[in-house]
């Protein structure tokens, strides 16, 4: 388990990270969200032991990153932002170096490096210098470095930044694949990624944790969560709006779009947990009125994210 305890980092007078606490268990994929400059990278740099915190500490699998730094760092794999790798080295030389410094030698080193090259689809470019590789490959080389020693804890700072959609997909697959035996913390500002990969998400803003929940739980905070979006043809807008507004369990109805022929309404329920879609459909279903589409909104992470980090209700 990674335990972040009251972590604070002061740059001058300004606190970049302000008294953050959270933890990640093995088997968990923790998404680390926040606007640029919220303190994501700074927090990760403190977890990995690159920055000493101003106060607080991090316990990595029972080892304190400040007092048992080497033991803690052995258990961590780290992919820094922008995936830095020595440009003059070839891919396999670089991974050899990483394996050696992590204590592998001889046959074990060869096997590790070979396996990692295969796993990250780098076998074809193993003898190329890193500065001849594309951004996607560089990212993979750095990713390879972070999983080379099969660490129990993976800290990934924007692992899909700058990759094309296929490469993003591959990286997400790899992250999911590895999650069974590891605790993974990764930062991103792609909210879809949180949905498809994370089991839990933490949102930070101005150096503070402002939300710590599952992706579903976060979505439930959205104002549109549980609302019914209904599109009908062949009915007067005012008419159908009034008819639905008086139904039990309906709090309010707003017109999303109306062009005379086609009307789209959003129906907000009193309680998002009590479904109103069936009643809405029954009430709309009349002579001459045809249902074009109806769906229940799950809520949008974008809205929640904006609301939580800026305080503005969309």
Partner 1 sequence: MQSGNFLRNIWIIMKREFAGYFGSPVAYVFIVIFLLLTGFFTFYISNFFEAGQADLKGFFQWHPWLFMFLVPAVAMRLWAEERRLGTIELLLTLPVTVTDVVLGKFLAAWCFIGIALALTFPLVLTTMYLGNPDMGVIFCAYLGSFLVAGTFLSVGSMTSALTRSQVVSFILAVVACLFLILAGFAPVTAVLSGWAPMGLVDLVSATSVLSHFASISRGVLDVRDLLYYLSVMVFMIFVNGVILQNRESA
* Cα–Cα dist 237/229, whole Å: 14
Q: Which stretch binds partner 1 (CB under 8 A): 71-79, 230-238, 241-249, 306-314?
A: 71-79
43 binds partner 1 (CB under 8 A): no
CA angle 15, 16, 22 (to 5 degrees): 105
| Shortest distance in whole angstroms from residue 260 CB to partner 1 | 58
Contact assessment for residue 301 and residue 195, using Cβ atoms and an 8 Å cutoff: yes
62 binds partner 1 (CB under 8 A): no
| Shortest distance in whole angstroms from residue 206 CB to partner 1 | 19
Q: Which stretch binds partner 1 (CB under 8 A): 32-40, 94-102, 163-171, 195-203?
A: 94-102
27 binds partner 1 (CB under 8 A): no
Output the six-digit token pair for 66. Answer: 């400040």
| Shortest distance in whole angstroms from residue 14 CB to partner 1 | 12
| Shortest distance in whole angstroms from residue 167 CB to partner 1 | 20
Distance of CA 275 to the CA centre of its chain: 29
Output the six-digit token pair for 210. Answer: 């402002």
87 binds partner 1 (CB under 8 A): yes
3-22 positions binding partner 1, by CB under 8 A? 11
| Shortest distance in whole angstroms from residue 180 CB to partner 1 | 24
The Cα diameter of the chain in Å comes to 80
141 or 228, CB closer to partner 1?
141
Distance of CA 292 to the CA centre of its chain: 34
| Shortest distance in whole angstroms from residue 45 CB to partner 1 | 7
Q: Is the dihedral of CA 145, 6, 58, 62 positive or negative?
A: negative
101 binds partner 1 (CB under 8 A): yes
Structural element, H or E, at residue 178: helix 165-178
Q: How far is CA 148 from CA 76, 133, 172, 226, in A?
A: 11, 20, 17, 44
Residues 119-158, one symbol each (x = binds partner 1 by CB under 8 A, - = not), give -----------------------x--x-------------
Q: Which stretch binds partner 1 (CB under 8 A): 32-40, 98-106, 170-178, 197-205?
A: 98-106
Contact assessment for residue 29 and residue 7, using Cβ atoms and an 8 Å cutoff: no
Written as one string, the DSSP assignment of 266-291 is: EEEESSTTS--HHHHHHHH--TT-EE
Total residues contacting partner 1 (rule CB under 8 A)? Answer: 29
Point out which residues bind partner 1 (CB under 8 A): 11, 45, 48-50, 52, 70, 73-74, 76, 78, 80-82, 84-89, 93, 97-98, 100-103, 142, 145
């Amino acid at each position: 388990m990674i335990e972040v305890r009251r972590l604070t980092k002061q740059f001058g007078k300004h606190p970049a990270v302000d008294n953050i606490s959270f933890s990640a268990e093995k088997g968990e994929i923790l998404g680390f969200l926040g606007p640029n400059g919220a303190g994501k990278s700074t927090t990760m740099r403190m977890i990995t032991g690159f920055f000493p915190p101003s106060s607080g500490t991090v316990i990595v699998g029972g080892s304190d990153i400040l007092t048992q730094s080497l033991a803690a760092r052995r258990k961590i794999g780290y992919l820094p932002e922008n995936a830095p790798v020595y440009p003059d080295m070839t891919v396999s030389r670089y991974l050899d170096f990483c394996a050696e410094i992590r204590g592998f030698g001889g046959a074990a080193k060869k096997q590790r490096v070979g396996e990692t090259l295969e796993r990250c689809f780098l076998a074809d470019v193993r003898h190329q210098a890193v500065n001849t590789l594309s951004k996607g490959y560089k990212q993979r080389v750095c990713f390879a470095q972070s999983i080379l020693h099969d660490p129990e804890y993976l800290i990934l700072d924007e692992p899909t930044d700058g990759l094309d959609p296929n490469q993003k997909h591959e990286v997400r697959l790899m992250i999911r694949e590895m999650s069974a035996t590891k605790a993974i913390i990764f930062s991103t500002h792609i909210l879809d990624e949180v949905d498809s990969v994370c089991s839990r998400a933490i949102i930070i803003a101005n150096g503070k944790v402002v939300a710590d929940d599952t992706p579903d739980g976060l979505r439930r905070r959205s104002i549109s969560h549980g609302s019914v979006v209904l599109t009908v043809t062949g009915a007067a807008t005012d008419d159908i709006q009034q008819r639905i507004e008086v139904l039990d369990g309906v709090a309010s109805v707003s017109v999303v779009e109306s062009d005379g022929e086609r009307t789209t309404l959003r129906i907000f329920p009193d309680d998002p947990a009590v479904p109103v879609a069936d009643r809405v459909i029954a009430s709309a279903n009349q002579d001459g009125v045809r249902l074009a589409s109806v769906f229940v909104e799950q809520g949008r992470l974008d809205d929640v994210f904006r609301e939580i980090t800026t305080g503005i209700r969309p």
